[in-house]
Amino acid sequence: MNVAKLRNTKITVIGAARSGIGAAQLLLSQGANVFVSDKQSGEKLKSQTSNLESLGIELELGGHSEKVYNCSLMVISPGVPSNAPVVVEAQKRRINVVSELELASWFCQSPIVAVTGSNGKTTTTTLIGRILGDAKKAHAVAGNIGTAFSTVVRELGATDAAVLEVSSFQLDHCETFRPKISVILNITPDHMDRYENSMEKYAASKARVFMNQTADDYLVYDADDEWTARAVQKAKCRKIAFSKEQKVSEGAFVENGMLSTFLNGTRTEIIRTDEISIKGMHNVYNSMAATLTGQLLGVGVASIRATLRNFKGVEHRLEFVRELDGVRYVNDSKATNVDSVWYALQAFSEPLVLLLGGRDKGNDYSRLTGLVRKHVRALVAIGESADKVEKAFSQSTQVKRATSMDEAVGAARSLAKQGDVVLLSPACASFDWFENYEHRGKVFKELVHKL
């Protein structure tokens, strides 16, 4: 994209949260005529967008007027569905619709690392950032992780690395986005409400991360994941696999408890899996992906090994909160789908009191039945999906309903016994009771510390 053509161009930004604000400010810096619209209203949104108005950017909240279509380009935030009426109407009028990720990439001169997958994106993206940071390599971590790419892209130099967490929603409206290294961690059922209960459509969305890559680029992927292994067959770039189940011809693998890599004809032993600081087999997979990415970016093995030994994980992902009366409390609020909970339940040997529920995304809970019977002493059903959760697990364990997080934490404390773990791992979106999963995790932690 010739960004010089943006000057004096009428551009509408849909969504006035972090990504929308970043996109609007980036466009304004290029001399575009920017209009921002959000169907939501409220004091918090107004406070977030006050800076836009001070910059002279026109803004509307509480709905989309006809004015949103008075443009030649529409930029949408990740939270705006592809089937939202405003997007559908814009496309009917032949308005080009792109994601904030696509927009920001037009300004990026540095190599891009794009991490996607149903589970593990935030942990892996953060870990790659730590590997680069510990090796004193200039980089920025952004994207779906909480910092909009458009807010940092102009600060990146040509030799820096842009490490991005990328969602399927962002990829759906990309056109020219081309990472130097793309990473697909896994493709498991998620957001089925957005993809018409079609795994094929969801997998195709994830596969867009490598659609513009060439033989000069790299695709790091999980060879053990069925949907991922199938999706990457179409990739035209250099494919680097990671696996726990097989010894790959090029990539990372586990043999006799040792995480090793084989790149450019050289086998390298990286670290014993029991030395990796973040626990659970899913984090071995995340570590393999991050290790390969670090090596491809020129980080030495000793530095990578030290980072894997010291990295403590990310907030809201199997995060220890406190121990009280012999019971440990763990915040896994970022577990917003069934597969995340599946991994979480296997990360503990202790009996669990599980807080599960929220805004359902077309979840099929049957995959968890055996694990709940084996690991979960009691379950507290929360949020809009409490009915569905209770029906799914009432034959597998004791289920108690709660109508607020305060009530849920209290119920969990009464159900837990010494030596148990109380685990918030909801398998659902948070938007029924909370602003986002971070807000949900924060409230949970605050309530636990008040016990």
Cα distance between residue 49 and residue 150, in whole Å: 16
Of the ranges 73-82, 127-136, 334-343, the best mean pLDDT one: 127-136
Flag whether pLDDT at 37 surpasses 90.
yes
Flag whether pLDDT at 45 surpasses 80.
no
- Residue 171 CA: distances (Å) to CA of 70, 243, 367: 25, 25, 28
Q: So what's the pLDDT on residue 47? A: 67
Strand-pair partners of 382: 357
In a 13 Å sphere around the CA of 161, the CA atoms on its Cβ side amount to: 28
Of the ranges 45-49, 120-124, 172-176, 304-308, the best mean pLDDT one: 304-308
pLDDT tens-digit readout, 353-373: 999 999 998 889 998 999 999
Q: So what's the pLDDT on residue 329? A: 96
Flag whether pLDDT at 382 surpasses 70.
yes
Flag whether pLDDT at 292 surpasses 80.
yes
| pLDDT band, very low/low/confident/very high, at 42 (cuts 50, 70, 90) | low
Cα distance between residue 338 and residue 105, in whole Å: 32
Domain definitions of the chain by residue range: 8-94, 103-310, 319-450
Give the distance from CA 421 to its chain's centroid. Answer: 25
Q: Record the tokens describing residue 404, joined without a space.
A: 């607020």
Of 38-42, 288-292, 359-363, the least confident: 38-42
Flag whether pLDDT at 12 surpasses 80.
yes
Say which CATH superfamily domain 8-94 falls into: NAD(P)-binding Rossmann-like Domain (3.40.50.720)
Domains 8-94 and 103-310 belong to one CATH topology: no
Of 44-58, 108-122, 264-278, 339-353, the least confident: 44-58
Flag whether pLDDT at 192 surpasses 70.
no
Q: Identify which of 268, 90, 129, 277 has the alpha carbon closest to the alpha carbon of residue 259.
A: 268
pLDDT tens-digit readout, 120-156: 889 999 999 999 999 999 999 999 887 999 999 999 9
Q: Which helix (H) or strand (E) holds 352?
A: strand 352-357
To the nearest whole percent, how much of the chain has pLDDT over 90? 75
246 vs 299 pLDDT, higher one: 299
Q: Average pLDDT of 11-35? A: 93
Cα distance between residue 208 and residue 426, in whole Å: 28
Q: So what's the pLDDT on residue 339? A: 85
Flag whether pLDDT at 352 surpasses 70.
yes
Q: Identify which of 247, 244, 245 has the alpha carbon closest to the alpha carbon of residue 276.
A: 244
Which amino acid is located at 180 in the chain? K
Which amino acid is located at 8 in the chain? N
To the nearest whole percent, how much of the chain has pLDDT over 70? 96
pLDDT tens-digit readout, 232-245: 999 999 999 999 99
Here the contacts of 141-149 (C-beta below 8 Å, separation 24 or greater) are 141/165, 143/101, 143/114, 143/170, 144/78, 144/170, 145/121, 146/18, 146/438, 147/18, 148/18, 148/19, 148/21, 148/22, 148/23, 148/100, 148/104, 149/22, 149/100, 149/101, 149/104, 149/105, 149/108
350 vs 317 pLDDT, higher one: 350
Q: So what's the pLDDT on residue 182? A: 98
Q: So what's the pLDDT on residue 198? A: 74
Q: Average pLDDT of 173-192? A: 86
Of 191-200, 250-259, 441-450, the least confident: 191-200
Q: Record the tokens describing residue 430, joined without a space.
A: 């948070």
Q: So what's the pLDDT on residue 28? A: 94
Q: So what's the pLDDT on residue 5? A: 84
Q: Average pLDDT of 396-422? A: 96
CATH number of 103-310: 3.40.1190.10
Mean pLDDT of the chain: 92
Q: So what's the pLDDT on residue 190? A: 57
Cα distance between residue 234 and residue 214, in whole Å: 12
Topology of domain 319-450, CATH = Protein-Tyrosine Phosphatase; Chain A (3.90.190)
